[in-house]
């Protein structure tokens, strides 16, 4: 169930990316051709980048395409690599679970205050902040799933799962 949700959020992040490109291009034309920029375009672009990052990250992690330093991994034998993956899965799960808890706490505080970011865009803060606990929560689950896959591979004595195919 987690991986289809991650895929859906990744597709949504693609839509956000296309919308941001359109917004930035429109704003450039309005600014330099008509001398009338959209005042809130820069803020929306910044928030959109947060959306893209937190919504696509679980899918990238599920596909095992996240950024990794493989110096230690490559120095281990193929039978030992899954153990490292299991340990890193646990560490990633714990970190993201903690971040999710903090993000949910902050989101609850923001919802209680019903606050806005600025006068330029009259948008409640929760519309931006919801993506932090959702994205990091899904990342925690993906780290756990990857760690379990790696632990199973280690216990069976088979090589670690590789990058998922498209």
Tell which residue, 139, 51, 150, has the closest CA to residue 92. 139
The pLDDT confidence band at residue 163, using thresholds 50, 70 and 90, is low
Confidence (pLDDT) at 165: 47
Angle at which helices 41-62 and 131-156 cross, to 10° = 20
pLDDT digits (tens, 9 = 90+) for 59-117: 889 888 887 777 777 788 888 888 989 999 999 999 999 999 999 999 999 888 877 76
Q: Is 66 helix (H, G, I), strand (E, B) or coil?
A: coil
Locate tokens 């970011």: which residue? 117
User: What pTM was estimated for this model as a whole?
Assistant: 0.82
Confidence (pLDDT) at 73: 77
Q: What is the mean pLDDT of the chain?
A: 86
> What sign does the dihedral 156-158-161-166 (CA atoms) show?
negative
- How far is 27 from 110, CA to CA, in rounded Å? 30
The pLDDT confidence band at residue 20, using thresholds 50, 70 and 90, is very high
């Amino acid at each position: 169930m987690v991986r289809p949700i991650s895929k859906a959020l990744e597709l949504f992040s693609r839509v956000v990316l296309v919308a941001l490109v359109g917004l930035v291009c429109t704003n450039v034309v309005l600014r330099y051709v008509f001398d009338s920029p959209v005042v809130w375009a820069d803020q929306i672009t910044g928030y959109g980048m947060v959306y893209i990052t937190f919504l696509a990250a679980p899918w990238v992690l599920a596909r095992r395409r996240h950024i990794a330093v493989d110096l230690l991994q490559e120095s281990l034998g193929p039978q030992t690599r899954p153990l490292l993956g299991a340990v890193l899965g646990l560490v990633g799960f714990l970190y993201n679970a903690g971040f999710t808890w903090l993000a949910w706490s902050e989101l609850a505080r923001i919802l209680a205050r019903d606050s806005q970011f600025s006068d330029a865009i009259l948008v409640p803060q929760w519309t931006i902040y919801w993506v932090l606990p959702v994205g990091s929560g899904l990342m925690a689950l993906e780290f756990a799933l990857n760690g379990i896959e790696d632990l199973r591979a280690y216990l069976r004595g088979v090589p670690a799962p590789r990058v998922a195919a498209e």
